[in-house]
Amino acid sequence: MNLPHDFRRTIIDLFNDRGREWLDNLPTIIADCERRWNLTALPPFDLTYNYVAPAVRADGTEVVLKLGVPDGALTDEMTALRLWDGHGIVQLLDCDPDRGIMLLERLTPGRPLITIEDDEEATRIFASVARQLWRPAPAVHNFDTPGSWAEGMKRLRKRFDGGTGPLQKNLVETAESLYAELLDSQSEPALIHGDLHHWNILSAGREPWLALDPKGIVGEPCYEVGAWLRNPVGAFFARPDLPRVFDRRVAILAEELGFDRQRIVGWGVAQAVLSAWWSIEDHGEGWEESMQCAEILSELLR
């Protein structure tokens, strides 16, 4: 199967031998899905962490296949999608957690929010999608939480023998104290997306914009702003007016969602540093923009 090199690399970096085996099996998995759901799979979208491809069912319905190495994260995505049942997010039509396969509603036109150039407009759209998503956390659940994710900060210290490696020491320290403070003072926990950014919100038909690709975590809704603030990685971070852009984002999020400004900034800084660590942990590189985000946002801390 002719898969992009970067995609293979990512899967092998993350899953080692299990990833290699999954990559070898992928043609069989796709053929099984085609038989099971009576569909024809089309060439995939741009691939990052999972094999995601449009497909057409025998009756002409357009759907999407999402296939990944079976693991807890993918299972949480399925469980969360089932709870959302299409409200504010793509509908899960069927799935098999043990095989790491999902059949999803196809969002059309499916233009990602990254194509909205006006950052203020995009931020307002983010806020409207986020608001639709949050719902009370299930009484019993196995979802990750902001606290379980924050354990990453301890792995960071361990990896660098108590230091901070290539990451700016003062920002890591700030993130650590923010985590201590914010985790302890969370509002009522909700089921939240956990990775709501510019490529995970698409233009759709039944709503103007819908989310997809949730982590599915249980935490206070304000936590959700973190993934928005540190994205989009890429050219955006070369903008000369970034401090002003971040200041406007924080103001819009406070206005649209009713969160305290300092909490928005605090989660933004803390999660940007954690995300920088995840880049090191998963890929050994690619942490610079998250740290740039942490630095600019930290200027807004009182």
Ligand X SMILES: Nc1ncnc2c1ncn2[C@@H]1O[C@H](COP(=O)(O)OP(=O)(O)O)[C@@H](O)[C@H]1O
The span of 46-54, 78-86, 183-191, 282-290 binding ligand X (CB under 6 A) equals 46-54
Told to judge if 195 belongs to the known catalytic residues of this protein, a careful annotator would answer yes
- Cα–Cα distance, 249 to 116 (Å, whole number): 15
- Min. distance of Cβ 200 from Mg ion in angstroms? 5
Tokens of 193: 């997306």
**Residues from 146 through 205 that contact Mg ion (CB under 5 A):** 200
Say if residues 267 and 254 touch (Cβ distance below 8 Å). Answer: no
φ and ψ at 151, to 5 degrees? -55, -25
Q: Contact between 213 and Mg ion (CB under 5 A)?
A: yes
Among 16, 38, 40, 48, binds ligand X (CB under 6 A): 48
Q: Which is nearer to ligand X, 201 or 254 (CB)?
A: 201
**Residue count at the site for ligand X (CB under 6 A)?**
19
- Min. distance of Cβ 275 from Mg ion in angstroms? 14
Q: Which is nearer to ligand X, 106 or 263 (CB)?
A: 106
Q: Which is nearer to ligand X, 52 or 156 (CB)?
A: 52
From the list 195, 213, 241, 282, the catalytic residue is: 195
Q: Which is nearer to ligand X, 104 or 182 (CB)?
A: 104
- Min. distance of Cβ 282 from ligand X in angstroms? 13
- Min. distance of Cβ 222 from ligand X in angstroms? 23
- Cα–Cα distance, 67 to 51 (Å, whole number): 5
In the chain, what is the greatest distance between 2 CA atoms, to the nearest angstrom?
A: 59
**212 touches, from ligand X, Mg ion, none (C-beta below 5 to 8 Å by class):** ligand X
**Residues from 85 through 124 that contact ligand X (CB under 6 A):** 90, 104-107, 110, 112
- Cα–Cα distance, 275 to 229 (Å, whole number): 12
Could you identify the residue written with the tokens 């690619």? 286
Among 41, 182, 212, 250, binds ligand X (CB under 6 A): 212
The span of 176-184, 194-202, 231-239, 279-287 binding ligand X (CB under 6 A) equals 194-202
- Min. distance of Cβ 192 from ligand X in angstroms? 17
**142 touches, from Mg ion, ligand X, none (C-beta below 5 to 8 Å by class):** none
For ligand X, the binding residues (CB under 6 A) are 45, 48-50, 52, 64, 66, 90, 104-107, 110, 112, 199-200, 202, 212-213
Catalytic residues: 195
For Mg ion, the binding residues (CB under 5 A) are 200, 213
